[in-house]
Amino acid sequence: MKKKELNEWKFDFGLCATKAGQLIPNSQCEELLDLIIDWAEKNKLSIGGGYREFPAERTVGKASLLDAINHLWNVFNHCKANFPAVSDNAKDAQVLGTPDFYLNQGYDNILHKYPMPLTEEKIKDVNHSGHWLNQNALIRLYAVLDSHGAMQEIDPNIEESKYIELIRHLRNSFAHGSGKYSKSKKKHRVLSASVHAINF
C-alpha cells in the first residue's frame, strides 16, 4: 500500500459517562458533531467523521475477517441478482430479465412481470428497495469490520484508509437516519463531499 502525504489533522473526541451505568444518548453525540462541523465550515475546512461506542478490546483476525466480508458480498450479490436496479430506459416495459452482470456470474435469469407498463414513478418505487439493500449491506459491512476490531486498527497514514472512513460516515448516516440525502443537513453535505472526493 502506498503511503500518502498527510495535509490534515485527525482528532478523537470522547463523551464519557460521569456515573456508573450512565449511557450517552445519540442526541448528545449529534450535538457535539454539529458543533465540530459548524466550526469547520466557518473556518472553510473540510471535515469527515462520525461517532461510535467505545469498543471492548478485540484482536483482528485477518483470515476470519476476509471470510466474513466475502460471505457478506456473496449474500448481497445474490439479493441484487434477484432484485436488480431498474434502468430509466425500462420505461413502458412490462417484463424485465436479470441483467448480464449477474447472468455472467451464473445466476438464474429471473423474469419480473408487471401488470402495467413501467412509469417513471414505478421505476423509482422499485429502485427504492434496491437502495435499501445497498444501505443494509454497508451497515452490515461496518458491523463485520467493527466486530473484528478492524475499525480501531486502521492506520490513517495509509492511502486506502479513506475507504474505511467513508464506510464509517455512511453507516452513521444510514443507521441513524432515513438514509435520504438532505442538502439542508450539514452532516449530509460533508458526507456527499467525502464521497465525491474519492476516485473509485
pLDDT band at 123 (very low <50, low <70, confident <90, very high): very high
By CB atoms closer than 10 A (0-12, 13-18, 19+), residue 55 is exposed
Encode pLDDT of 38-52 as tens digits.
888 888 777 766 666
Least confident among 26-35, 106-115, 118-127: 26-35
CA distances for 117 relative to 86, 93, 131, angstroms:
13, 5, 22
pLDDT score for 200: 57
Residue 57 phi, psi dihedral angles, 5° rounding? -65, 130
Q: Is 174 or 198 the better-scoring residue by pLDDT?
A: 174
DSSP 3-state assignment of 113? strand
CA distances for 168 relative to 11, 26, 60, 146, 150, angstroms:
15, 16, 17, 10, 12
Q: Is the pTM of this model over 0.85?
A: no
pLDDT score for 20: 66
Assess contact for 194 and 165: CB atoms under 8 A.
yes
DSSP 3-state assignment of 2? coil
Mean pLDDT taken over the chain: 80
Encode pLDDT of 128-174 as tens digits.
988 889 899 999 999 888 888 777 767 777 777 778 878 887 887 78
pLDDT band at 7 (very low <50, low <70, confident <90, very high): low
pLDDT above 60 (res 190): yes
pLDDT above 90 (res 98): yes
pLDDT score for 61: 66
How far is it, in rounded angstroms, from Cα 128 to Cα 83? 11
